[in-house]
Amino acid sequence: MTLLTISIQFVGLVKNIFIAKEFGVSTEIDAYNLANTYTVSITNLAIPAIIIVLIPFLTKRTGELSMQEALNTYISTILLSISLLVVVGIGSTMFFLQSGMQLSETMRWTLLIIMILNVAQIFRVLSAILTAFRQVDNDFITPKVATLCSTIFSGVYVVVASEPSIIGVSIFLTASFLLECILLAIKNKGFSFRFQFQWKNLAFRQLMRQTGPVVFNSIVFQISLIFSMTLAGFLGSGYVATIGYANQMVSIIQALVIVNILTVVYPTLSRIFSKQIEAGKQLFIQYVTVANMLVIPLLVGMVVVGDLLTALLFQRGAFTAADTTQVTFFMVMISIGLPGLVLRDFVYRVYFCLDDTRTPSRISVITIGVNILLLLCLTPIFGIYAVLLIPSIMNIVSGLVAYRLLEKRIGKIDPKRTLVKQHIVMLLNASVMGTVLYLLRIHWSLTSNVAFLVLVIIGILIYGLLVGMTQRNVIRKLKNKGVSNQ
């Protein structure tokens, strides 16, 4: 999974390198990123529900007819709802384009791209459903292979075309989601599903009661995301594109560390918490520790050598040195909240294992409300800095709040304060690594590409040595726990 994830991220980076070369931080890229944000918000109403609600249901389902009817009806309802939203979205876009309204260049490009990307959202939802079936069968490889093929296909156009257009990039992106869906459908051939609408089925109604808070939370989150991106667009030309490049860099960490670990551990957490809560608590502590053991040094590394990475990947063609500086700064600001995001996502998974989707939704709604309020109050004063930093801080706050509320429900999770102690050690280890890299960098005269590669290798060696000296027991316990769970 790690190798496949690295491959996916590498191919995605190659695609974005060529996009940066051709378009830089132009109006077209602003429009492309805005359109992506708007259209993805449609499917992000359903995909969290598929991950959070459907996977535990599949791990516990029996062969009873009523359970199969509930499953068929649930999937059919999701697909029907998303299809209706897509149709409404396309219709609304066509109305604005043909209404004769005076639209800015960015808005016109955005509406055109939205029409194309809207179609892709149906394929994304279907792929998420098919992926859930594979994951429940402990097949984590097939979805990654399908995503890799899709990512390669989506990048073919911008790499091969002599004069690529942003419309062509959007069309190939849509086609790539169709390809991913087809590959997953082939692998899932024969899985028991048919369109069915038995809305009176009791198991289906239970699924919908669990889904409701998740969807509501997704709606609020998408509103917050769209608000932030739109606000960035109003603050200045190129800000949306710059945030997009920065998010691409940060998403590598999220995909390699957070998403991979969550994907693997969630079915196991669901099974363990349904049997023994104390064992689940121990697994939770170990996985949060390991995830942040990887995230924190990566964050420190971004601060020290992030500009070298950005230059290595993007600084060519229309992408200037000034763009490199700004993307790196945005990347660091966005990354500050990653350790809190790790804690929050794992705590939320514990709630979902306990069939509680309401508490995480309440926490998220309050957090997002505070986030929007702070943006409204502080953006006029601090500008783009508020747009970048406030969400990162709120990730940390929401993670701590969710953790404290979970302890009130299931009792003390970490009576020995293992998490706190281990995180202090992580910060010390990462700080030592960062200090050494900084001192080496200011004393060496190397080209940026060579400096980055050398510093990365030295950083890995230093941090690996420090972890081996101070946190070896954590890795050993996790390995033993994994063997005992099997």
Query: Which residue matches tokens 């960098």?
Result: 441
Give the pLDDT of residue 461: 92
Count of CB atoms situated within 10 Å of the CB of 210? 20
Q: What is the 3-state secondary structure (H, E, C) of 131-200?
A: HHHHHHCCCCHHHHHHHHHHHHHHHHHHHHCCCCCHHHHHHHHHHHHHHHHHHHHHHCCCCCCCCCCCCC
Q: What is the domain count for the chain?
A: 1
33 lies in a domain?
A: yes
Identify the CA nearest to 292 among candidates 405, 418, 177.
418
Give the HSE-up count for residue 375: Cα atoms under 13 Å, Cβ half-sphere: 25
Here the tokens at position 231 are 């606000």
pLDDT tens by residue, the chain, 486 residues: 767 877 887 888 788 888 877 877 677 777 887 788 777 776 766 777 777 777 777 776 666 777 778 778 888 888 888 788 878 877 887 777 777 667 677 777 788 888 888 888 888 888 888 888 887 777 778 888 888 899 899 888 888 888 888 888 889 989 998 998 888 888 877 566 677 787 788 878 887 877 777 676 666 666 766 677 777 767 766 777 788 788 877 877 776 677 777 777 777 777 787 778 888 888 888 888 888 888 899 889 888 888 888 888 777 777 788 888 888 888 888 888 888 888 888 888 888 888 787 888 788 888 888 888 888 888 888 888 888 888 888 888 888 998 999 888 888 888 888 888 888 999 999 999 999 998 888 877 655 677 788 888 899 999 989 988 887 766 666 555 544 444
- Domain extent for 97: 27-198
φ/ψ (deg, to 5) at 25: -115, 45
Residue with tokens 């068929």: 72
| Dist CA 335 CA 252 (whole Å) | 11
Q: How far is CA 286 from the centre of its chain?
A: 21
Look at residue 369 and tell me if it is in a domain.
no
Judge contact between 142 and 134, C-beta under 8 A: yes
Token readout for 278 is 């104390």
Q: Is residue 439 situated within a structural domain?
A: no
Question: Is residue 255 assigned to a domain?
Answer: no
The angle that helices 260-275 and 105-136 make with each other, rounded to 10 degrees, is: 50
Asked, for residue 116, whether it belongs to a domain, the answer is: yes
Question: Quick check: is 74 in a domain?
Answer: yes
Q: Pull the structure tokens for residue 73.
A: 């009806």
Residue 232 covered by a domain: no
Angle at 223 between CA 391 and CA 377, to 5 degrees: 50
pTM for this prediction: 0.66
DSSP designation for 431: H
The angle formed by the CA atoms of residues 346, 335 and 379, to the nearest 5 degrees, is 110
Residue 40 lies in a domain: yes
Contact 176, 34 (CB under 8 A): no
- What is the distance between the alpha carbons of residues 431 and 169, in angstroms, rounded to a whole number? 41
Alpha-carbon distances, residue 34 vs 84, 171, 231, 303, 359 (angstroms): 21, 16, 11, 27, 30
CA distances to 153, 159, 349, 350 from 356, in Å: 39, 46, 10, 9
